[in-house]
Amino acid sequence: MRILVTGAAGFLGSHLCDRLLAEGHSVVGMDNFITGNPNNLAHLAGNQDFSFIRHDVSNFIFVPGKLDAVLHFASPASPNPNSPFGYVNLPIQTMKAGALGTHNTLGIARTHQARFLLASTSEIYGDPLEHPQTESYWGHVDPIGTRSVYDEAKRFAEALTMAYHRFHDINTRIVRIFNTYGPRMHIDDGRVVPNFLKQALCGDPLTIYGDGSQTRAFCYVDDLIEGIYRLLLSDEHMPVNIGNPVETSILEFAQLINDVVGNQAGIIFKEGQRGEGDPQRRQPDISKARNILGWEPKIDLETGLERTIPYFKEKLGLA
């Protein structure tokens, strides 16, 4: 296939490009570098099967030549209001990437009669009242809070994707991605993995927002990409959760990182850092992915962290 990947210079987009190329596809990457980094694609320079277009997906998209698939991953993704790369500080761009960007990428999929895959998120469940979250749960979302720019844009994106599927018969997929980590995350984007690894590797205390009882379930990037690739090749049009179902409190996670890195500086608790709407519990029910894709994650948290640490050491000049 010849595949357009938007958000290609980001964390997930760049790994996706690598996987698609390794499977023998040809890839057109697109990005405007708002939260991504061209270095994430530097190793593809000179690859005959890869080309790149610098473009904001909120504007009309033109790609020369035939496309067989469009994978829409372009969007700021960090909720951290302390980071310039967090979507709280890029609110209009985030809404435009999720709304106009999804419209434009669906439009190009329609023009080419290409299959389409939307990168959605566990955030569409909001601060969930059902636990773990299955795909049939409608969510508990604040439509006007600071996180709403991301959550509502992704909910709109899902609705628009289903509309194109039902009305225009576009061959669509929706992946609901849960917290994923690994090399090429933006070191300053303020998400918990970059923050904690940076702090631990520098010998600083880890900053827990709140009391650390909130939970997440962390998936290593290679596992996630495997699930997304299987979904792309499947015939499933309804949303599918892809994530690691092992639920961990942020306190346990901080302790694990300090142990793995050997950081003696401990933990400090910071109130009011995240603002409203920090989800209290999050855990994917992946029964659907297991049943229809035969997929489940293989890499445990400790192994994934060990594979991620060398990248952060290099970025921090500690390698």
Least Å distance, CB 284 to ligand UDP, is 12
Residue from 4, 13, 160, 164 in contact with ligand NAD (CB under 6 A) = 13
Least Å distance, CB 289 to ligand UDP, is 19
Q: Which is nearer to ligand NAD, 56 or 236 (CB)?
A: 56
Look at residue 217 and give the partner it binds from ligand UDP, ligand NAD, none, a contact being a CB closer than 5 to 8 Å depending on partner kind.
none
Look at residue 155 and give the partner it binds from ligand UDP, ligand NAD, none, a contact being a CB closer than 5 to 8 Å depending on partner kind.
none
Residues near ligand UDP, by CB under 6 A: 78-80, 179, 191-192, 195, 207-209, 214, 216, 250, 274, 278
According to the binding rule CB under 6 A, does residue 214 interact with ligand NAD?
Answer: no
Look at residue 258 and give the partner it binds from ligand NAD, ligand UDP, none, a contact being a CB closer than 5 to 8 Å depending on partner kind.
none
According to the binding rule CB under 6 A, does residue 119 interact with ligand NAD?
Answer: yes
Q: Which is nearer to ligand NAD, 54 or 268 (CB)?
A: 54
- In DSSP notation, the chain reads -EEEEETTTSHHHHHHHHHHHHTT-EEEEEE--SS--GGGGGGGTT-TTEEEEE--TTS----SS--SEEEE--S--B--TTSTTBGGGSHHHHHHHHTHHHHHHHHHHHHHT-EEEEEEEGGGGBS-SSSSBPTT---B--SSSTTHHHHHHHHHHHHHHHHHHHHH---EEEEEE--EE-TT--TTS--HHHHHHHHHHTTPPEEEETTS--EEE-EEHHHHHHHHHHHHHS---S-EEES---EEEHHHHHHHHHHHHT--S-EEEETTSS-TT--S---B--HHIIIII-------HHHHHHHHHHHHHHHTT--
Residues 57 to 86 in contact with ligand NAD, rule: CB under 6 A: 57-58, 73-77
Active-site pick, 87, 150, 220, 229: 150
In the residue annotation, 150 being an active-site residue is answered as: yes
Q: Which is nearer to ligand UDP, 223 or 236 (CB)?
A: 223
According to the binding rule CB under 6 A, does residue 29 interact with ligand NAD?
Answer: no
Q: Which residues are catalytic?
A: 150
Residues that bind ligand NAD (CB under 6 A): 6-7, 9-13, 31-36, 56-58, 73-77, 97, 101, 119, 121, 177, 179-180, 186
